[in-house]
Structure 1
Amino acid sequence: MEKLTREVRILKIYAVSLTAVCILFFFFAFKHQNSHQRFEEIDVERINVIEKDGTLKMVISNKKRQHPGMVNNKEFKPREREAGLIFFNELGDECGGLVYGADKDGSGMVYSVDQKNTDQIMQLQYMEGGSDKKNRTYGLKLWDRPDDFPLEDIIKFEDSLKKLNDPAASKKAYGKLRKEGKLTTERFFAGKTGDGDVGLFLKDSNGRIRLKIYVDKNNQTHIDKLDENGQIVK
């Protein structure tokens, strides 16, 4: 009996000790998982920033792994996009981003702000084509976009035209949308044009330039008011 009692006591001590070790193990493991990690340097191809519930809010990625975009929590079909940052709102829509890239034919960097349920309405951009400085432009652009032609409808429209593979039909379809006021219209540019002019360039609701305030490449100042046909109004 004494031997049995001693063995039972040993088993109790063992069980208590093992339980304590397990508790400490899980405690330190949980603490380690929730502690802040600090790195001097990391190499990564993509980072997804999410909320606690898993909602995607931002993607930082290289070109190969870049997010294709999203609307109404639905990802677009895979497509080529440049490296950079893509932002997403609480509705599950892409709402802007910063992308950049370059090759032998040109380079550029664009920061975009998207209108709700559709594409960009504001961009801070730099674009350059090849070695020709006449193709270099940079500045701030603003667009108007209709509320009744959301991004999902734009994508369906463009996909249907691609399937047709008919340039004439595509031109007619785009013309119809323009008459209905469903196409994007550039309204404002402040920056430097490919012609070397630096200033403000304002367009009407039909995309026709109506006012230019600028300094040209010869350092001459201009304030030009234009009519609907592009002729300067004296």
Structure 2
Amino acid sequence: MEKLVREVRILKIYAASLTFVCILFFFLAFKNQYSNERFKEIDVERINIVEKDGTLKMVISNKERQHPGSLNHKDLKPREREAGLIFFNSLGDECGGLVYDANEKESGMVYSVDQRKTDQIMQLQYFEKSGKEKNRVYGLKLWDRPDDFPLETLIKFDDSLKKLNNPDISKKAYAKLREEGKLGNERFFAGKTANGDVGVFIRDTKGKVRLKLYVDKNNQTHIEKLDENGNPVQ
């Protein structure tokens, strides 16, 4: 009888301990579900920011593991890209980013905003190249991009030309696209040019400079209106 009482007492203690452990696990799981982890410092080569359904929205990466970009939720062909941030929209397309780097000869940083289904239409950019004469350019640049020639079409066009393996045909084909406005054209730049001019430079729909308002490296002011051939207009 005493043995039975002792076994019942042990069973009660075991049951109580097991219940306590289960409750403890429940509260810990509940806490982890609704609380944020805190880190003082982490080292990581790449971070993918995703929605609950797994849709990729942003990549923070070093150069080696940088994302090649995507179109319609499909990754583009592998390519070398600098470290930085790449943004993606809910359509599964890359829609801009920030990349940067520097070495003993060159340095730069570019923040890009892409037009829907095509390439960049706005950039904040800085480039510098060392040498006998230092070349430094920085400012805001804008482009026009066509709605009827998306990036997907351009990629297919480029792939078909590469299969021909004929540089002359490729050059003529791209010249025709540019003339038709299919490749997009630079329209605006505000900043400092390589020759030291600081100002605003506006281009027409064909990408030709038509208006300049700037101060040159000798602190002389200029307002220049140009025709489509680059000749001054009085």
Q: Say whether the fold is shared (TM-score over 0.5).
A: yes
CA distance in 2: counterparts of 1:151 and 1:30, whole angstroms:
46
CA distance in 2: counterparts of 1:195 and 1:158, whole angstroms:
34
Which has the higher mean CA deviation after the structures are superposed, 136-145 or 8-17? 8-17
CA distance in 2: counterparts of 1:213 and 1:131, whole angstroms:
28
CA distance in 1: counterparts of 2:105 and 2:150, whole angstroms:
33
Task: State the TM-score, normalizing by the size of structure 1.
Answer: 0.91
Aligned to 1:83: 83
Query: Cα distance 1:103–1:167, how it changes in 2: closer, same or farther (>3 A)?
Result: farther
Give the 5 Å matches for 1:28-177: 28-32=28-32, 34-177=34-177
Task: State the TM-score, normalizing by the size of structure 2.
Answer: 0.91
Superposed CA deviations along residues 163-197 of structure 1, whole A, max 9, x for unmatched, are 33322011111022123321110000001111111
Quote how far apart the aligned CAs of 1:203 are: 0.5
Q: In 2, are the aligned partners of 1:201 and 1:213 still within 8 Å (CA)?
A: yes
Q: Mind listing any 5+ residue stretches in structure 1 that lack a counterpart?
A: none
Q: In 2, are the aligned partners of 1:68 and 1:79 still within 8 Å (CA)?
A: yes
Amino acid at match of 2:24: L
Percent of pairs with identical residues = 76
CA distance in 2: counterparts of 1:62 and 1:30, whole angstroms:
35
Superposed CA deviations along residues 90-142 of structure 1, whole A, max 9, x for unmatched, are 22211111100123431110000010111100000001223355531110000
**Count of aligned residue pairs for this structure pair:** 234
Aligned to 1:233: 233
Amino acid at match of 1:175: A
Query: Cα distance 1:134–1:157, how it changes in 2: closer, same or farther (>3 A)?
Result: farther
CA distance in 1: counterparts of 2:188 and 2:134, whole angstroms:
20
**What is the SS of the residue equivalent to 2:98?**
strand
CA distance in 2: counterparts of 1:50 and 1:73, whole angstroms:
13
Superposed CA deviations along residues 54-95 of structure 1, whole A, max 9, x for unmatched, are 222111111011111112111112211000111111222111
Amino acid at match of 1:110: V
